Amino acid sequence: MNEKPIATPKRTAEILHKYGFSFKKSLGQNFIIDTNILQKIIHSAGIHKTSGVIEVGPGIGALTQQLAIAADKVVAYEIDQRLLPILKDTLQAVSNTTIIQQDILEADVRAMMNDYFNTGQPVHVVANLPYYITTPILMKLLREKLPVASFTVMIQKEVAERMAAEPNCKQYGSLTIAVQYYTDAEVVMNVPRNVFMPPPNVDSSVLKLTKKTERPVEIDDEEYFFTLVQACFAQRRKTLRNNLLRHFGDAVDKDTISSVLNEIDIDPARRGESLNMTEFAVLANAFYRKFEN
């Protein structure tokens, strides 16, 4: 394909001017204007000619264009209908791309995958995600347990660090556990603000989440597990005992909480950030069996 790359400052400015497009801050629109960054994202994602790709928020098609060259099929969700005629124009040279005008949070992604991708085809999510809604998008896609091999996404640096964190650091929290329950998380690279138009107000990173083939821990009830993990981080400076006491309210007293924790060899005076995922699983299972069965 001899089409000029969209991801340059000049080409992006030309497209925006041609259509009189104005950025909507409410949609978190920051377009990438550096083709090298896009190539690194695609390489990190492991995209090849047999790959199917799901993109979220294609914008004017900068990443979409490069994905179409590298992959077998690209399906992109775009919520802003003003961008549809622009994408039709910028992507006219590629025939393996479909744009769906829909909010990804409301989409039946599994049904779409059945319609557009071949059975057994490796499918990856690759996207420059709107920063204001990164976590809801990723958690929706993870919790639906879609047949997606990996997620390689440009997101806010601070959020990437939280998703890839290890225990005993300030970035480690309930989001870390939720993401790492489903995937292996790795920050691939940090990205300067000047590769976006307009530049965002925050630093950015590319995060790769590789789907785990097996669950990392055995838990009795997933929803209960995630709820209890969140409770343990509700007030970070408080102990497990106090956070759990706050969570259970009048239903459970402090001595009972301490007793359950002592039975599983977890000190009630520890804080949530000191527990690894295995310990959280043991904790959640113990309380589930004590109070839910």
32 annotated among ligand-binding-site residues: yes
The helix/strand/coil state of 280 is: helix
- Tell me the two tokens of residue 214: 């097996």
pLDDT at 96: 98
pLDDT at 293: 74
249 annotated among ligand-binding-site residues: no
List, by residue range, all CATH 1.10.8.100 domains of the chain: 222-291
pLDDT at 25: 75
Tell which residue, 109, 91, 124, 82, has the closest CA to residue 208.
124
> What count of other Cβ atoms lies within 10 Å of the Cβ of residue 248?
17
CATH code, 9-211 = 3.40.50.150
**Rounded-to-integer distance, Cα 124 and Cα 53, Å:** 5
pLDDT at 23: 84
pLDDT at 260: 96
Tell which residue, 97, 99, 96, has the closest CA to residue 84.
99
**Rounded-to-integer distance, Cα 47 and Cα 21, Å:** 31
- Tell me the two tokens of residue 80: 């802003």
The helix/strand/coil state of 52 is: strand
pLDDT in tens, the chain (293 residues): 457 899 999 999 999 999 999 888 777 789 999 999 999 999 999 999 999 999 999 999 999 999 999 999 999 999 999 999 999 999 999 999 999 999 999 999 999 999 999 999 999 999 999 888 999 999 999 999 999 999 999 999 999 999 999 999 999 999 999 999 999 999 999 999 999 999 999 999 999 999 999 999 999 999 999 999 999 999 999 999 999 999 999 889 999 999 999 999 999 999 999 999 999 999 999 999 998 87
103 annotated among ligand-binding-site residues: yes
14 annotated among ligand-binding-site residues: no
**Rounded-to-integer distance, Cα 156 and Cα 179, Å:** 15
Handedness of CA 51, 54, 57, 60 (dihedral sign): positive
**Rounded-to-integer distance, Cα 107 and Cα 266, Å:** 41
Question: CATH number of the domain at 222-291, out of 3.40.50.2000, 1.25.40.10, 1.10.8.100, 3.60.110.10?
Answer: 1.10.8.100
What single-letter amino acid sits at 248?
A: F
pLDDT at 2: 52
List, by residue range, all CATH 3.40.50.150 domains of the chain: 9-211
36 annotated among ligand-binding-site residues: no
